[in-house]
């Protein structure tokens, strides 16, 4: 099941999007989620869709992976869309039964919400597929740094994030190994009722926690031995640099925003 | 022939049909003979670990047929029919101490048998027997496995697999990280067990000395396929080929090769090349006897 999840994976490449500053990509993805709420008609959604596909094309990654990324969430999306369709009133009424009404504005709203969710998922998938986890935490640390002035532990949070991200694959491997070892001893994970299945988790959970504790202790010792004493006075090995391409992205976003506002207030 | 393991054109791909697909096994054809010690060697990433996960059907081949304990396993085999095979083929994974979880040593060893519907008393009896076999003293049985030393934890974990009383025992680097004495005593325990109970032993290792000393049969893996299969003497006969496969000779053999190339002495042609230190000693004694005959 886990191998089907695309969100949160990284595909190594050297495209335009890959080389962008992680801060640009982070801010861009957040900004995209904001401006998608500006769109309120077909033309503006078409523009956003084109923008998204253009970004995907720039990343050089097969569009199929993005569609696969949407797949696990499709039921959630459809659920939302169906609620929109059934409960929105207004416009021409096509069908009516009990409290439900299928109306033209309901259908339009449903389609809008569908487009909105799919585009947001695609954009965030693009962010994680093109940004290595460490770059992502670097970006987050930089963006959080202004908050440190108000006592916010930006460095500590960034450190925890990067360690956590670094150990996700390691712990997954470890979980897989322990699972295999217990299956070899006759544990069945996909058989039996709910209680049986929960019980089968214990032989994995206990060793996994124990190994995580051991790992944390070893890691803390190794960090201290190498002279780590907290965030103060540290230099950075990976420097983030904001260059012409990043500027282009922001210009692109500004243009899209301007056109969206135009479409919202002038055209209709 | 019931416990023979036969790979017939077996291939395995991780994450098939995704951008992360990796072919790990490619058309593997091999037979692991029963009641023998078979060593599987190969460079890191050659597919050894994937291969052994097939032996007790934790993985099913994505193509080809695997025959384990008389049962045919293919890509479409039902999971439910495979569970009995797991009792017949026990696997000790790398660093098996990571699998301990119960509150006491004895309970952890009993865990395996209990999963295969063996009664509580019987499981207890088996557990005590296996703990004695791996050399865990009785006063530790009620202790938490997490209180033990690393070496003892390893022994308890191995006892947990032995408690399944498998007919085929697969060991994936069972002595990695152990001290030389622990290594020796553990290997001897396995070989002794193999000889007394006549089980099939499959040993995955990087230690060529162990292969030379204990194995009857060696399988060499490279890039997901089997590239050689034979007795240790056959596999170790060609040093340059081994070098190509990033493998090495056992120490006794490389020592012998050095003597061969640097000393101008007549080699006894009757004896086979020495694989182990003991055979090497015999060999050298024969050379010495030959020299003495010449002088006398």
In whole numbers, what is the pLDDT of chain A averaged over residues? 84
Check if B86 contacts A (Cβ < 8 Å): yes
Give SS3 for A102. strand
In angstroms, the CA B52 to CA A46 distance is: 53
Q: Domain residues of chain B, as ranges?
A: 250-295
Residue of A nearest to B115 (CA): A186
Closest by CA position to B291, among listed B271, B265, B254, B269: B265
Confidence check: pLDDT of A169 > 50:
yes
Chain A residues in contact with B111 by the CB 8 A cut-off are 185, 203
- Other beta carbons within 10 angstroms of residue A232's beta carbon come to 6
Cβ of residue B17 closer than 8 Å to a chain A Cβ: no
Nearest to B100 by CA among A196, A202, A218: A202
Q: What pLDDT shows up at residue A2?
A: 45
Tens-digit pLDDT profile for residues A115-166:
999 999 888 888 888 888 778 888 888 888 888 888 888 888 888 888 887 7
Of A68, A177, A210, which has the smallest distance from its Cβ to B146's Cβ? A210
8 A C-beta contact, residue B250 and residue B236? yes
* Cβ burial A17-52 (10 Å sphere, 16+ → b, else e): bbebbbbbbbbbbebbeebbebbeeeebbebbeebb
Minimum CA–CA partner of B94 in chain A: A177
**What was the ipTM of the complex prediction?**
0.85
Structure tokens given for A256: 């899209």
CA distance, residue B245 to nearest chain A CA (Å): 27
Q: What is the pLDDT of residues A194-232, one digit of tens each?
A: 888 888 889 999 999 999 999 999 999 999 999 998 877
d(CA A217, CA B234): 47
**For B150-170, how does the pLDDT look when each residue is reduced to its tens digit (9 = 90+)?**
889 999 999 999 999 999 999
In chain A, what percentage of residues exceed pLDDT 70?
95
Of B18, B58, B115, the CB nearest to A180: B58
Q: Average pLDDT in the B226-241 region? A: 88
Least confident of B121-125, B171-175, B243-247: B243-247
Residues from chain A that touch B90, judged by Cβ atoms under 8 A, are 184
A136/B264: higher pLDDT? A136
HSE toward the beta carbon, residue A109, CA cutoff 13 A: 17
pTM: 0.75
Of A180, A188, A211, the CB nearest to B83: A188
State the alpha helices, DSSP H only, in chain A: 16-19, 22-35, 42-59, 63-70, 74-87, 104-130, 133-144, 154-184, 194-225, 244-262
* Cα R_g (chain A), whole angstroms: 24
Name every chain B residue with its beta carbon within 8 A of the beta carbon of A207: 98-101
Torsion angle, alpha carbons of B271, B275, B281, B286, to 10: 10
Using a CB-CB distance cutoff of 8 angstroms, which residues of chain A are in contact with residue B101? 202-203, 206-207, 210
pLDDT of residue B132: 93
The structure tokens listed for B214 are: 């204990």
Closest-CA distance of chain B to residue A31, Å: 29
pLDDT one-digit tens code per residue, A244-262:
888 888 898 899 888 888 8
Which of B49, B101, B146 would best serve as a mutation to test chain A binding (most A beta carbons within 10 A)?
Answer: B101
Residue with tokens 């010690």: B37
Q: How confident is the model at residue A1 (pLDDT cuts 50, 70, 90)?
A: very low
């Amino acid at each position: 099941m886990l191998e089907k999840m695309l969100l949160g994976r990284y595909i190594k490449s050297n495209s335009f999007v890959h080389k962008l500053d992680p801060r640009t990509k982070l801010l861009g993805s957040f900004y995209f989620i904001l401006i998608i709420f500006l769109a309120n008609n077909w033309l503006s959604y078409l523009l956003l869709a084109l923008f998204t596909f253009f970004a995907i094309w720039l990343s050089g990654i097969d569009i199929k992976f993005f569609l696969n990324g949407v797949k696990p969430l499709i039921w959630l999306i459809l659920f939302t869309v169906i609620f929109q369709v059934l409960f929105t009133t207004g416009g021409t009424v096509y069908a009516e039964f009990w409290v439900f009404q299928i109306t033209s504005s309901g259908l339009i709203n449903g389609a809008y919400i569908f487009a909105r969710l799919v585009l947001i998922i695609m954009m965030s998938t693009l962010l994680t597929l093109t940004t290595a986890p460490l770059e992502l935490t670097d970006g987050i640390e930089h963006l959080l740094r202004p908050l440190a002035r108000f006592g916010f532990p930006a460095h500590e949070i960034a450190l925890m994030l990067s360690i956590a991200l670094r150990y996700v694959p390691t712990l997954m491997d470890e979980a897989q190994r322990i699972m295999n070892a217990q299956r070899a001893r006759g544990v069945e994970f996909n058989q039996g009722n709910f209680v049986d299945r929960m019980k089968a988790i214990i032989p994995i959970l206990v060793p996994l926690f124990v190994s995580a504790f051991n790992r944390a202790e070893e890691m803390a010792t190794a960090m201290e031995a190498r002279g780590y004493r907290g965030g103060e006075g540290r230099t950075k090995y990976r420097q983030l640099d904001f260059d012409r391409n990043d500027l282009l992205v922001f210009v692109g976003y500004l243009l899209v925003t301007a056109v969206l506002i135009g479409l919202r207030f002038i055209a209709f | 022939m019931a416990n023979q393991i036969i790979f017939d054109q077996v291939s395995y791909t991780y994450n098939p049909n995704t951008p992360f697909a990796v072919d790990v096994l490619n058309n593997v054809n091999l037979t692991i003979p029963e009641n023998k010690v078979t060593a599987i060697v190969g460079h890191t990433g050659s597919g050894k670990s994937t291969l052994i996960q097939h032996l007790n059907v934790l993985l099913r081949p994505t193509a080809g047929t695997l025959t384990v304990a008389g049962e045919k396993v293919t890509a479409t085999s039902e999971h439910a029919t495979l569970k009995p095979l797991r009792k017949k083929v026990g696997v000790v994974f790398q660093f098996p101490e990571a699998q301990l979880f119960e509150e006491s040593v004895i309970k952890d060893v009993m865990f395996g048998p209990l999963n295969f519907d063996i009664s509580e008393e019987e499981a207890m009896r088996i557990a005590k027997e296996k703990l004695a076999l791996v050399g865990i003293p009785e006063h530790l049985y009620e202790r938490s496995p997490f209180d033990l030393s690393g070496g003892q934890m390893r022994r308890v974990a191995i006892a947990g697999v032995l408690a399944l009383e498998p007919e085929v025992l697969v060991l994936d680097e069972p002595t990695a990280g152990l001290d030389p004495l622990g290594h020796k005593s553990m290997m001897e325990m396995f070989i002794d067990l193999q000889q007394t109970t006549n089980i099939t032993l499959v040993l995955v290792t990087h230690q060529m000395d162990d292969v030379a000393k204990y194995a009857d049969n060696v399988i060499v893996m490279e890039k997901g396929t089997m590239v050689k299969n034979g007795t240790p003497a056959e596999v170790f006969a060609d040093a340059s080929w081994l070098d190509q496969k990033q493998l090495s000779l056992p120490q006794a053999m490389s020592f012998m090769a050095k003597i061969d190339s640097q000393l101008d002495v007549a080699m006894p042609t009757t004896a086979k090349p020495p694989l182990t230190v003991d055979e090497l000693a015999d060999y050298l004694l024969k050379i010495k006897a030959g020299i003495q005959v010449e002088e006398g």
